Amino acid sequence: MDCAYLFRGRVDRKLMFKFKCNSCGGVYFDPQPDGKRYFHACPDLTNPDFQPVPSLPKLDLRESLPRPNARDERQKPGLQFKDGEYVTVSVDPNDAQKQVVTKVQQITVSEGAGRTLVE
């Protein structure tokens, strides 16, 4: 991040943008007050039909359900940045000595329903 954005280790509030996730409704700032980027990932849903085990009253083993259309801004594993583009590198199935470089269109795990800038 450029030094002009930082003031004594903090980001100028005018440069912090507040977003709302359209998938889960979560609200977050990007970048964070310390200048670091925030990569949002929607939490799983808990099963509303969960029945606790009576013999284990202090143990809460709630079943997690994947959220439909969840947003996950984390980068896909295995990405490399080469020649100004994100790519994946794999071994050619026909020739083990060759590498196959594939350009990647989306670098995040899942776009979900997107996000909205909150004023």
Q: What is the pLDDT of residues 32-87, one digit of tens each?
A: 878 788 889 999 888 777 776 777 666 666 677 888 889 998 888 888 888 888 89
Contacts of 66 (CB under 8 A, 6+ apart): 44, 45
pLDDT-based confidence at residue 104 (cuts at 50, 70, 90): confident
Q: Give dist(CA 18, CA 93) in Å, integer.
A: 45
81: domain range?
3-118
Contacts of 55 (CB under 8 A, 6+ apart): none
Q: What is the pTM of this model?
A: 0.59
Domain count for the chain: 1
Q: Tell which residue, 31, 75, 27, 66, has the closest CA to residue 45.
A: 66
